[in-house]
Structure 1
Amino acid sequence: MSIALFVEGKRDKDAIPELVRRFLGASPGIICRVIRRGDMFNSAKIKAHLEPLLKGHPEVSSFHRFLEIIKDP
């Protein structure tokens, strides 16, 4: 089982997988991709990102989007 994470920035790509590992208590395979904010709300663009990911990693059982709500100054 692996989990795909779509995040908005490099810092999120570093931090969110670690939070997911700590939350789950196990060490699932985590595949993290940085995606632009505009693409996060467009189903066609999400599909375009998800299809190649699933071809390369067929063990992915779920994917989650993490939006950055508060931007750093």
Structure 2
Amino acid sequence: MGAVKIMAIVLIIAGLLGLVYGQFSYTRETQEAKLGPLELTVKDTETVNVPVWAGVTAVAAGGALLLFASRKS
């Protein structure tokens, strides 16, 4: 399987996941203060919303790449 086909499949999967879930969260740890041996850290949870148009575009681009790669072979 070529690199173009793999990239197309990755785009399709990422687009479908973006459409199904619509958002994802991650935790970011920041160092707030360091006073001698004491360190104060804060864990922030960030949420990123994935627009519908981005998911649809990723699926369409992946499908077009897959179609183009299969025709060229």
TM interval, short-chain normalised: under 0.3
**Structure that is richer in strand per residue:** 2
**Structure that is richer in helix per residue:** 2
| TM-score normalised according to structure 1 size | 0.26
| TM-score normalised according to structure 2 size | 0.26
Bigger Rg, which one: 2
